[in-house]
Amino acid sequence: VLHGIKVGFATLLVADSYTRLSSITPSKVANWLRKTSLPDSKTQLNEIRQNYNRNPDRIVDEQKRFLELTPTGWQQLQQRISDQWQAIQSITALVPTRSEIERILGPIHFPLTAAAVGLTEMDVNSGLLSAHYLRDRFTVFKLLFYLR
């Protein structure tokens, strides 16, 4: 499968993630944040090594600031997410929805399903669960990881 096809399909998944965030109210996110605990770094290291077997050390190095988050740092991050939720919501409103992207890609017969791209639902779910490790910054996937 060509790289552009993979990127296009991933764009649909990212749009779904932003749509999911757009439906979360400030009170709901505050409640979720109160219920979540600091992610276990050993579990995360195992996930990285399992899912990124080509170069896990690079991913670990890039994720160091998240993997070494202290309880105080975790509380500060939770507060920052809560404090910035309105700004996050305004960003989600700018992202096209899946249906808008499908409307653009459909006429060119772009593959719009996992199966059409050659992926199983398990591939997609596994990718979504580990996607937050792909970038060394705080992405929509990192936010969703912390809210789960």
Residue ranges of alpha helices (H) inside the chain are 3-22, 26-35, 41-51, 56-62, 64-67, 71-83, 85-92, 98-105, 114-117, 121-130, 140-147
Number of Cβ within a 10 Å radius of residue 139: 16
The pLDDT of residue 148: 82
The pLDDT of residue 95: 96
The pLDDT of residue 4: 87
The pLDDT of residue 54: 86
The pLDDT of residue 2: 80
Asked if residue 41 lies in contact with residue 64, where contact means CB atoms within 8 angstroms, the answer is no
The pLDDT of residue 98: 96
**Residues of the chain with confidence (pLDDT) below 50:** none
The pLDDT of residue 72: 97
The pLDDT of residue 28: 94
Distance (Å, whole) CA 29 – CA 36: 10
